[in-house]
Amino acid sequence: MPSLLLYGAYGYVGTLIAREAVDRGLDVTLAGRDREQLEKQVRELDQPALRFDLSDPVAVAGAVDGFDCVLNCAGPFSDTAAPLVEGCLETGADYVDVTGEIPVVERVREYDREAVDAGVTLLPSVGFSSIPMDCLAAHLADRLPAATHLALGVDSVRVPSVGSLKTVIEGAETESNVYEDGRLERIGPTERTRTIDFGRGERPAVAMPLGDLSTAHYTTGVPNVEVYAYVPRPARVALRVYPRLEPLLSRPRVESALKRLAGMVREGPSERARERGEALLWGEARNEADGERAVSRLRTPDAYVVTVQGSLNAAERVLAGEAGAGYQTPAGAFGPEFALDIEGTSGFFDSAVDTERRPAASR
């Protein structure tokens, strides 16, 4: 049976994925750098474990050697992705992760040529919202092949896990949050807003620096891509004042204090909350020259449910040899219908292609 190494197995998301992997009967080995947490998880799940630190490339390669695939669930991925990718390239293991960080997706793509030469699959960002958003983007590109612009959006207010909060704090200086003419460009926190009907009435949305931006661009080849998220009013106000606070928040001592505070937050949503949660996704493909426009929507279960199911669905298909060598995206590897493999996902809900010109995002 193909073997899977699950790094970051004892975090909130990692634990959910580890339990599901065991329930699926996968040959999974738990991994991370915290011996105490690993020992506790080994007792709970009765699975083998490896403890190693990513600061030592020799140790990483030695730990990864012999596994068919590594699934990385340990954020901030800006710290963990590159060492694990390099270990996979050295040993021939495939690499999968659940990052939502644009710089990480872009960094992993830089290893594409090495991965092709090594026969290794590199598939970052197989969680929420990248899987459904990427599949929605691919679906829209199929509907409107001549699209020059792609706008995507998600409506899912969800309490983040501790790991997610620490990743946000670590990546607070992310510079890129739109694609323009095939290039990543930086814009202000609330520079582009628009009103979007995600499927339950119009809501205010703000362009956000989500990893879905990069995956959608590489999957579809559309040169102009924006990704929006529904943002409640208090959060929009916070985004507006963020530029004034950024110099303070980026100081090492302040950043460290914020991470300690994040550790005091409840670990993550309860099982009941995950069962009841849902997300609505919207996408618009547009051809600027002739005004043609296509809109489609998706509905998914809770974000954490999507991440758990989607990451393991991706890992299983990689283990089965269904993904090509080199850098891949979720829909690029498995097609637009990949999102529908997640139990509870419904769509695509398509509006007819029309020639109505919609106002551009406010600037």
The domain spans of the chain are 3-127+305-334, 130-302+341-350
Mean pLDDT, residues 272-299 taken together? 94
* Cα-Cα end-to-end distance for the chain: 53
Tens digit of pLDDT for each residue in 180-221? Answer: 999 999 998 888 999 999 998 999 999 999 999 999 999 999
Q: Given pLDDT bands bounded at 50, 70 and 90, which one contains residue 273?
A: confident
Tokens of 157: 């207010």
**Tell me, which fold does domain 130-302+341-350 have in CATH?**
Dihydrodipicolinate Reductase; domain 2 (3.30.360)
Bridge-partner residues for 314, per DSSP? none
Which of the 8 DSSP states describes residue 324? -
CATH superfamily of 3-127+305-334: NAD(P)-binding Rossmann-like Domain (3.40.50.720)
Whether 245 shows a pLDDT value over 50: the answer reads no
pLDDT for position 232: 74
Across the chain, the runs of DSSP E, i.e. the strands, are 3-7, 27-32, 49-51, 69-72, 94-97, 121-123, 149-155, 178-180, 183-185, 193-197, 202-207, 224-230, 278-286, 293-301, 326-327, 346-350
Tokens of 28: 């999974």
Candidate from 81-95, 226-240, 329-343 with smallest mean pLDDT: 226-240
pLDDT for position 325: 98
Q: What is the mean pLDDT of the chain?
A: 88
Candidate from 11-20, 25-34, 320-329, 353-362 with smallest mean pLDDT: 353-362
pLDDT for position 265: 45
**Helix residue spans in 92-179 (DSSP H):** 102-109, 112-118, 130-143, 162-170
pLDDT for position 247: 53
Mean pLDDT, residues 120-133 taken together? 97
Q: Given pLDDT bands bounded at 50, 70 and 90, which one contains residue 275?
A: confident
pLDDT for position 174: 42
Whether 175 shows a pLDDT value over 60: the answer reads no
Q: Given pLDDT bands bounded at 50, 70 and 90, which one contains residue 158?
A: low
Mean pLDDT, residues 317-325 taken together? 98
Whether 260 shows a pLDDT value over 70: the answer reads no
Specify the pTM: 0.87
Whether 51 shows a pLDDT value over 90: the answer reads yes
Q: Given pLDDT bands bounded at 50, 70 and 90, which one contains residue 299?
A: very high
Label residues 121-149 b or e (16+ Cβ within 10 Å = b): bbbbbbbbbbbbbbbbbbbbbbbbeebbb
CB-based contacts of 132, cutoff 8 Å, min separation 6: 279, 281, 298, 300, 306, 339, 342, 345
pLDDT for position 266: 45
Whether 256 shows a pLDDT value over 70: the answer reads no
Mean pLDDT, residues 276-297 taken together? 96
Whether 103 shows a pLDDT value over 60: the answer reads yes
pLDDT for position 160: 45
pLDDT for position 268: 77
